[in-house]
Amino acid sequence: MYRKHLNLNYQNCGINSRLTALRTNFSRQYVAVAMPAIKYVAFIAVFLLLSACSRESGELNQTVGADVVIATSSANIYLSGVGGQYAVSATLVDDQGVAFVDQPAFVWESASAGVVSVDANGVVTANGLGQSVVTVRANGLSSQIQVLVSDQAVVLNGTVRYEDREYGRNGFVDQPDYFKAVRFAKVTVVDNNGAEVGGIGSVYTDENGNFTLSGLLDSQHFVRVSAATDNSLGLDLAVKDRQQALYSVTKQVDITQAANFMMDVPLSSEASGAFNILDVFTSSAEFTLLYTDLSLVSLNTFWEVNNTDGTYFCNDYDAVYCDSGKGVYVYGVANGDTDEYDDDVLYHEFAHYFTQAVSRDDSYGGCHVLSSTDLDLRLAWSEGWGDFFPSAMKTWLAADPSRSGLISSSPGYSLAGYVDTYQSRAQISVEIDSLSPSVYKSAANELAIAKILYLLNQRYGMEPIIDVFTGYFPGVATPVNLESFWDGWLAIHSPTVSDKAQLTGFYNERSIYYQEDRFEPDNNMNPARKIALNTAETHYLYSETVETDIDFVAFDTVAGNQYSLSTANLTSGADTYIRVFSPDGTELNLGGVTVENDDANETAYYGYDSACGSSRVKNNTTALSSSLSFIAPITGTYYAELRTTTDPDPYLSAGRYGTFSFKVIQN
């Protein structure tokens, strides 16, 4: 029955075994109260525990100097006016706060019945203004509670902070006491049923996490801070669990702390993760309000510890993947991949929201792997923007000393770093500014796109990039991908010759060639350059003068010999087409069939991706290549017309531009 740990100090809050005992004691009282959401109940318990622990000796009201003491649920009671009531509980505990299984009958008495009375259950009732002391006795022990009855409004100055996790290249590098302000979050006063207390209204924390409330507060009131932001600032953000319950933390009003009412949400509280998500999206929303015409950033996030569905953005309700509604979904796999402190992952998802809110995104989503160089161009673009966005956010935050403290990567770690942790270690860790050009290349690779955007941001800032999002993408007839971004940049910014050379250089570093190849001009059959047989040459599908580039190539034939024409090494989403023209300049037709080919290997366009465990579009080097053979009817110079597909309904996942090699073989 007795569990003694005599060497431990009752006042030492750092000892977990004692905390556990207290948690039991305190949560019991409040779990009995019906609360609207499970989260809410849990946080009350955790908060009471912590607020108790943060105080000095005597906060857990007890008789000092004995192994056995009476602990009460309050040391101070404040009642706002006559008639106010508050229930206090008493528990017989050992010197470590562990409750005895058998509890005695407690006797309660008030020193001044004209101020308060107290019944046999510890319910204190205010009878008049003034102060009194309530004493509770049992087993020859006693404990006292200070009571104040007042009809004066209380001004409560509070500060709300959450504990964040710092990360570096290899994962979390937590430092102690890494608290940050809970910014622009909703603060309300609720009673012990969770109902908002009238006449006080809600306020919001400021950028430093501070708030001021005033009203007839008393001990049965709680300050509740919710993971929801101030709409009047254009911030309509909320972090909820998958059942739509808003995260919040609650702390009982303590009038003795009214001047400095601290609400710290530690890592041990599930809510700290929710407040980190809120913080990352608050920064992202401020960025959005600054750089676009959007006046209200409305975004729900759905996260909980047991969310194993993944991290993604849903633009709409979807019964299978997005059953909580439109918004960002965040992984919470215990002992696995959790993303609530992975700021880069969160920024990435916000980038998808951003595109949807201020621009257009044509990606169908689906699996994507950072090193894949054959993605659907729309997917590569959408994810590349998402991969780039964290660096944009951190660069923006770092540029202003008043915001730089919001970055949670460790000092000295590149702002271009992108980390996704699994447990505490980085499972993905890349630095956008130093990506291998031989691996991360092509318009069908997301990190190649991220790097181009990174270089553009370094050189020109975010405004011209976002101008393409807001001023070009929404109305463009072609799919939104790196090609249309290139087109939009030229259309909107009309770069100078030197700026265009700079731009081209950024793309070329990633083996992307939106520029005329060395054979131009060759858009017409006459004159056409003659190609040597059996020699491959590299072409770019790009023209400075016409929308659809055509490359004509001439080659000599001898009647009766067979010739094979083919494209290969298709990159950046190229989708080639070949047609042959006779020496007289007419389309070659043999046996009623035009000698042409679009896709020689089209069946390979959708393929299994072992890294994804599913099939997807593959803009690989061969799938949409072209190949044909013919026997020359006459000796002479024939012409090959090379261009992007003529299919009136081309794959929107492929590109209009791109690179390929071409050769003619005499068999």
Q: Which of 551, 554, 639, 655 binds Ca ion (CB under 5 A)?
A: 551
Least Å from the CB of residue 498 to Ca ion:
23
The residue among 208 and 427 lying less far from Ca ion, judged by its C-beta, is 427
The answer to the question of residue 599 lying near Ca ion (CB under 5 A) is yes
Least Å from the CB of residue 212 to Ca ion:
37
Distance, first Cα to last Cα, the chain: 96
Binding mask 293-332 for Ca ion (x = CB under 5 A): ----------------------------------------
Q: Which of 339, 349, 383, 446 binds Ca ion (CB under 5 A)?
A: 339
The answer to the question of residue 361 lying near Ca ion (CB under 5 A) is no
Q: Which of 125, 478, 523, 569 binds Ca ion (CB under 5 A)?
A: 523
Give the residue from 23, 16, 75 showing the smallest Cα distance to 48. Answer: 23
Least Å from the CB of residue 107 to Ca ion:
55
Residues 6+ apart with CB under 8 A from 140: none
The residue among 549 and 641 lying less far from Ca ion, judged by its C-beta, is 549
Least Å from the CB of residue 221 to Ca ion:
38
Give the residue from 462, 392, 472, 487 showing the smallest Cα distance to 432. Answer: 392
Binding mask 362-401 for Ca ion (x = CB under 5 A): ----------------------------------------
What are the tokens at 241? 């669990």
Residues 6+ apart with CB under 8 A from 290: none
What are the tokens at 247? 């995260």
The residue among 171 and 488 lying less far from Ca ion, judged by its C-beta, is 171
Find where tokens 């994507």 sit.
368
Helix pair 38-54, 16-31: axis angle to 10 deg:
130
Binding mask 564-593 for Ca ion (x = CB under 5 A): -----------xx-----------------
CA distance linking residue 209 with residue 5, whole number of Å: 39
Contact by Cβ (8 Å): 217, 156 = yes
Least Å from the CB of residue 645 to Ca ion:
5
What are the tokens at 425? 């270690």
Q: Which of 218, 270, 342, 609 binds Ca ion (CB under 5 A)?
A: 342
Give the residue from 32, 51, 11 showing the smallest Cα distance to 254. Answer: 51
Closest residue to bound Ca ion by CB:
624
Least Å from the CB of residue 386 to Ca ion:
15
Q: Which of 163, 343, 522, 609 binds Ca ion (CB under 5 A)?
A: 522
Is the sign of the CA dihedral 291, 293, 295, 299 positive or negative?
Answer: negative
What are the tokens at 630? 């013919």
Count of residues touching Ca ion (by CB under 5 A): 17
Least Å from the CB of residue 536 to Ca ion:
15
Contact by Cβ (8 Å): 184, 235 = yes
What are the tokens at 309? 């569905």
Give the residue from 630, 373, 627 showing the smallest Cα distance to 510. Answer: 373
The residue among 440 and 662 lying less far from Ca ion, judged by its C-beta, is 662
The residue among 43 and 313 lying less far from Ca ion, judged by its C-beta, is 313
Q: Which of 270, 309, 343, 420 binds Ca ion (CB under 5 A)?
A: 420
Q: Which stretch binds Ca ion (CB under 5 A): 183-191, 351-359, 532-540, 627-635?
A: 532-540
Q: Which of 421, 442, 566, 621 binds Ca ion (CB under 5 A)?
A: 421
SS3 529: strand
The residue among 376 and 522 lying less far from Ca ion, judged by its C-beta, is 522
HEC profile for 295-357? CCEEEEEEECCCCCCCCEEECCCECCCECCCCEEEECECCCCCECCCCHHHHHHHHHHHHHHH
SS3 369: coil
The residue among 286 and 376 lying less far from Ca ion, judged by its C-beta, is 376
What are the tokens at 122? 């510890």
Least Å from the CB of residue 661 to Ca ion:
12
What are the tokens at 10? 């009752």
Least Å from the CB of residue 324 to Ca ion:
19
Give the residue from 542, 434, 539, 537 showing the smallest Cα distance to 482. Answer: 542
What are the tokens at 127? 């009878």
Q: Which stretch binds Ca ion (CB under 5 A): 119-127, 182-190, 496-504, 639-647?
A: 639-647
The answer to the question of residue 343 lying near Ca ion (CB under 5 A) is no
Least Å from the CB of residue 520 to Ca ion:
5
The residue among 387 and 420 lying less far from Ca ion, judged by its C-beta, is 420
Least Å from the CB of residue 368 to Ca ion:
16
CA distance linking residue 10 with residue 99, whole number of Å: 13
CA distance linking residue 502 with residue 520, whole number of Å: 21
What are the tokens at 131? 């102060």
Cα Dmax for the chain: 121
The residue among 77 and 624 lying less far from Ca ion, judged by its C-beta, is 624
SS3 467: helix
Least Å from the CB of residue 36 to Ca ion:
30
Least Å from the CB of residue 337 to Ca ion:
4
Least Å from the CB of residue 593 to Ca ion:
18
The residue among 343 and 361 lying less far from Ca ion, judged by its C-beta, is 343
CA distances from 350 to 299, 301, 303, 312, 470 (A): 9, 10, 14, 9, 16
What are the tokens at 221? 């009131």
Q: Which of 383, 549, 609, 641 binds Ca ion (CB under 5 A)?
A: 549
The residue among 229 and 311 lying less far from Ca ion, judged by its C-beta, is 311
The answer to the question of residue 517 lying near Ca ion (CB under 5 A) is yes
The residue among 110 and 408 lying less far from Ca ion, judged by its C-beta, is 408
Give the residue from 137, 83, 81, 79 showing the smallest Cα distance to 106. Answer: 137
The answer to the question of residue 624 lying near Ca ion (CB under 5 A) is yes
Give the residue from 366, 384, 311, 299 showing the smallest Cα distance to 342. Answer: 311
The residue among 523 and 622 lying less far from Ca ion, judged by its C-beta, is 523
Find where tokens 């215990």 sit.
334
CA distance linking residue 579 with residue 568, whole number of Å: 15
Least Å from the CB of residue 349 to Ca ion:
12
The answer to the question of residue 340 lying near Ca ion (CB under 5 A) is no
The answer to the question of residue 349 lying near Ca ion (CB under 5 A) is no
Q: Which of 598, 616, 632, 641 binds Ca ion (CB under 5 A)?
A: 598
What are the tokens at 418? 């992108």
The answer to the question of residue 337 lying near Ca ion (CB under 5 A) is yes
CA distance linking residue 187 with residue 275, whole number of Å: 13
Q: Which stretch binds Ca ion (CB under 5 A): 268-276, 341-349, 371-379, 398-406?
A: 341-349
Q: Which stretch binds Ca ion (CB under 5 A): 215-223, 483-491, 611-619, 642-650?
A: 642-650
Residues lying near Ca ion in the complex (CB under 5 A): 337, 339, 342, 420-421, 517, 522-523, 539, 549, 551, 575-576, 598-599, 624, 645
